[in-house]
Structure 1
Amino acid sequence: MSQFLAMFQQMGPEMFSKGVAQIAPYFGTIDPEVIDLKPGYCEVSLKNQKKVHNHIGTVHAIAMCNAAELAGGMTTDVSIPAGARWVPQGMTVEYIAKAKTDLKVVCEAADVDFSQEGKVVVP
C-alpha cells in the first residue's frame, strides 16, 4: 500500500491535507483538502477564498492547476505498483469559464494502466 494512502486512511482528510502542505509547501498556498483518495481516484476541494483570487475576483487559473496537479499526483502515487516511481512530465489545461464558487477537483483514472513503463497519461 502507498505510504500516502496509508496516511490518508489513518489521518483523515483534514490532517492529511495539512501534512501534504508540509511535504510539498506549494500545495499549501491554495489550502486544498483531499476529500477522497483511493487507487484510481482522488477528489480535492478548493475553496473560493481571497488568497486564491485573481485581479477580477475569481479563482485564479493557476490555483486550479495547482489543485489539478495535486489530484493527479495523489492518484498516481496511490495507484502505481509497489517500488515504482513517477515524475510528472506535463499538463494540458483549458480555461473554459471563470470560477466563482468552491471547486471540486477530481482525477478519475480507474482505467489507466499504472503498471506500464514509460509515459502514462492520467486524466
Structure 2
Amino acid sequence: MTQTNRLAKLVKATAKFPKGIRSTLWSKAFGRVVPMVGTAHIKYIEVSHSQVIVEIQNHRAIQNHIGQVHACAMALIAETATGFVTGMNVPDHCIVLIKSLKVDFKRPTKGNMKAVATLTDEQITLMQSTEKGETLVSVSVTDETGQEPIQCEMLWAWIAKSQLKK
C-alpha cells in the first residue's frame, strides 16, 4: 500500500482540477519550493508515486551557443523528474539528496525536451519503509524527435532529517 507524505498530499489535492490546470499548479508550486526549477520554467506533465514527467521548452534563456537546449538544462530536467518521483515516496521525516548523476551526451538535440522518471514497486516500498537508503532512479530524456540525445544515471539517497549534521 502506498503511503502518503506532504508532497503526495499536495499532488492528490489537485486531482479534481483538469489536467492543464493541475500541470500549471504543480509547476508554480514546485518552482517556489525549488527556485532553479521555476527559473528554468520546467513544466510538470504527470506526477505520481511511480512516475514523474517534466518538459522544458527550447527558449532562448536555456539555449547553448548553437540554439539547442543547453547541456545543463537537459541534466536539470532529468534531475528534477528523478528527484520529485523520489520525493513523492520518502517519509516526511526524511530528506532526499542526489548522491550522483551521470550524463552521457549521444547526439545533438532538436526542439523541446521531456524527462520521464520511473520507480519500481520494490523501490517505492524501500523508500516508504526505511529511514535511510539509496536507489538508482530510471529516467529517459527525449527531444521532439522522440529520440534520446542523452542517457542518464541518477542515484538518489534519503536520510532522516535528524541524522543531518548541523
Structure 1 stretches lacking a partner, 5+ long: none
What is the percentage of aligned positions where both structures have the same residue? 25
The answer to whether residue 41 in structure 2 is matched with residue 38 in structure 1 is: no
The answer to whether residue 137 in structure 2 is matched with residue 122 in structure 1 is: yes
Deviation at 1:44, TM superposition (A): 0.3
Structure 2 stretches lacking a partner, 5+ long: 15-21, 139-166
One of 58, 83, 100 as aligned partner of 1:90: 100
Residue 99 of structure 2: SS of its match in structure 1?
coil
The answer to whether residue 10 in structure 2 is matched with residue 7 in structure 1 is: yes
CA RMSD, Structure 1 to Structure 2 (Å): 1.7
One of 68, 82, 86 as aligned partner of 1:76: 86
Q: Which has the higher contact order (CA 8 A, sep 6+)?
A: 1
CA offset digits 1:11-61 (Å, max 9, x no partner): 411111111111111112220111111112100011111111001100001
Q: When the two structures are superposed, what TM-score results if normalisation uses the length of structure 1?
A: 0.87
- Checking the alignment, whether the CA contact within 8 Å between 1:39 and 1:110 is kept in structure 2 is no
* Rg larger in structure: 2
Q: When the two structures are superposed, what TM-score results if normalisation uses the length of structure 2?
A: 0.67
Supply the AA of the counterpart residue of 1:39. Answer: H
* Alignment-derived partner of residue 20 in structure 1: 30
Inter-partner Cα distance in structure 2 for 1:25 and 1:86:
16
Inter-partner Cα distance in structure 1 for 2:66 and 2:72:
14
Residue 72 of structure 2: SS of its match in structure 1?
helix
Choose 111-120 or 68-77, whichever is displaced more: 111-120
* Alignment-derived partner of residue 112 in structure 2: 102
Deviation at 1:7, TM superposition (A): 1.9
- Checking the alignment, whether the CA contact within 8 Å between 2:77 and 2:114 is kept in structure 1 is no
